[in-house]
Amino acid sequence: MAQFFKAQKRNNKTTRLPVLDIAVDTVDHHGKGICLTHKPIIVVANAVPGELYKIQITEQKQRVWFAKIVKVLKANEHRSAPFCQHYNECGGCSQQDFSASYQYQVKQDALEVFLRKNLDDSVFPPSVSFNDVLPYDDTVRTSIATDPKASKTPAIAYRRKARLSIDSRQASKVKIGYRAKQSNKIIDINVCPILDTPIQEPLFALTQVLKTLPIVKMLGHMTVLSDKQRQQVCLHLTKAPDYSALTQLKEATREIDLELTLELPESYEKSSPKSLVSLSNLVDAKANLAKCQKLNASFSICDDGETNIMLSPNHFIQVNAKVNIDMLKTAKQWLSLTKNDTLVDLFAGLGNFSLHFANDVKQCIAAEGVAEMVELGKQNAALNGLINVLFKHVDLSDVDAFKELNIPENSTFIIDPARQGALELMQVFSKLKPKRILYVSCNPISFARDINCLDEKYQIKQIKALDMFPFTEHIEMMALLERV
CB count in 10 Å sphere of residue 476: 23
Given this model, what pLDDT does residue 171 score?
86
Given this model, what pLDDT does residue 143 score?
47
Given this model, what pLDDT does residue 428 score?
84
What CATH number corresponds to the domain at position 223? Answer: 2.40.50.1070
Chain-centroid distance, C-alpha 170: 31
Beta-bridge partners for 309:
301
Residues 329, 454 within the same domain: yes
pLDDT band at 140 (very low <50, low <70, confident <90, very high): low
Is pLDDT above 80 for 149? Answer: no
| pLDDT tens by residue, 389-427 | 999 999 988 888 888 888 988 899 999 999 999 998 888
Strand pairing category for 32-35 and 41-45: antiparallel
Residues 173, 287 within the same domain: yes
Tell me the mean pLDDT in the region 45-73. Answer: 94
Least confident range from 193-202, 294-303, 308-317: namely 294-303
Provide the domain count of the chain: 3
Residues 246, 337 within the same domain: no
Tell me the mean pLDDT in the region 48-61. Answer: 94
Given this model, what pLDDT does residue 148 score?
42
Residues 169, 210 within the same domain: yes
Is pLDDT above 50 for 146? Answer: no
Least confident range from 153-157, 187-191, 262-266, 270-274: namely 270-274
pLDDT band at 13 (very low <50, low <70, confident <90, very high): low
Given this model, what pLDDT does residue 15 score?
72
Cβ within 8 Å of residue 343, ≥6 positions away: 337, 353, 354, 357, 358, 360, 361, 363, 364, 365, 411, 412, 413, 414
Given this model, what pLDDT does residue 133 score?
63
What CATH number corresponds to the domain at position 383? Answer: 3.40.50.150
Residue 214 maps to a domain: yes
Cα distances from 179 to residues 98, 165, 184, 188, 199, in angstroms, run 22, 8, 6, 9, 20
Last residue within a domain, chosen from 299, 330, 362:
299
d(CA 134, CA 137): 9
Last residue within a domain, chosen from 50, 76, 102:
76
pLDDT exceeding 90 applies to what percent of the chain?
Answer: 69
Residue 309 maps to a domain: no
Given this model, what pLDDT does residue 147 score?
44
Residues 470, 360 within the same domain: yes
Is pLDDT above 70 for 11? Answer: no
Cβ within 8 Å of residue 369, ≥6 positions away: 347, 393, 394, 395, 396, 397
Residues 201, 122 within the same domain: no
Is pLDDT above 70 for 354? Answer: yes
Residues 343, 478 within the same domain: yes
- The pair phi, psi for residue 107, each rounded to 5°, is -70, -40
Residue 374 maps to a domain: yes
Given this model, what pLDDT does residue 316 score?
92
Last residue within a domain, chosen from 299, 327, 357:
299
Q: In terms of Cα–Cα distance, which of 238, 228, 240, 247 is closest to 270?
A: 240
Tell me the mean pLDDT in the region 427-445. Answer: 91
| pLDDT tens by residue, 77-94 | 988 889 999 999 999 898
- Give me the sheet containing 363-368, strands edge to edge: 389-393, 363-368, 342-346, 412-415, 436-441, 476-483, 458-466
Residue 334 structural domain: 110-135+318-483
Residue 329 maps to a domain: yes
What CATH number corresponds to the domain at position 23? Answer: 2.40.50.140
Residue 233 maps to a domain: yes
- Answer left, alpha or beta for residue 443, where phi above 0 means left and psi between -120 and 50 means alpha: beta
Residues 351, 216 within the same domain: no
CB count in 10 Å sphere of residue 422: 23
Cα distances from 172 to residues 189, 191, 237, 254, in angstroms, run 16, 20, 20, 24
Residues 290, 225 within the same domain: yes
Residue 461 maps to a domain: yes
Residues 58, 167 within the same domain: no
Q: In terms of Cα–Cα distance, which of 380, 392, 375 is closest to 355?
A: 380
* 348, 380 Cβ separation under 8 angstroms: no
Considering 269-278, 393-402, 443-452, the range whose residues carry the highest mean pLDDT is 443-452
Residue 243 maps to a domain: yes
442 annotated active-site: yes
Annotated catalytic residue: which of 93, 192, 364, 442? 442
Is pLDDT above 80 for 252? Answer: yes
- What is the CA angle 74-78-84, rounded to 5? 100
Residues 237, 347 within the same domain: no
Least confident range from 96-105, 245-254, 367-376, 379-388: namely 96-105
Tell me the mean pLDDT in the region 346-363. Answer: 96
Residue 8 maps to a domain: no
Chain mean pLDDT for the chain:
89
Task: Report CA torsion sign: 202, 208, 212, 215.
Answer: positive
Residues 337, 258 within the same domain: no
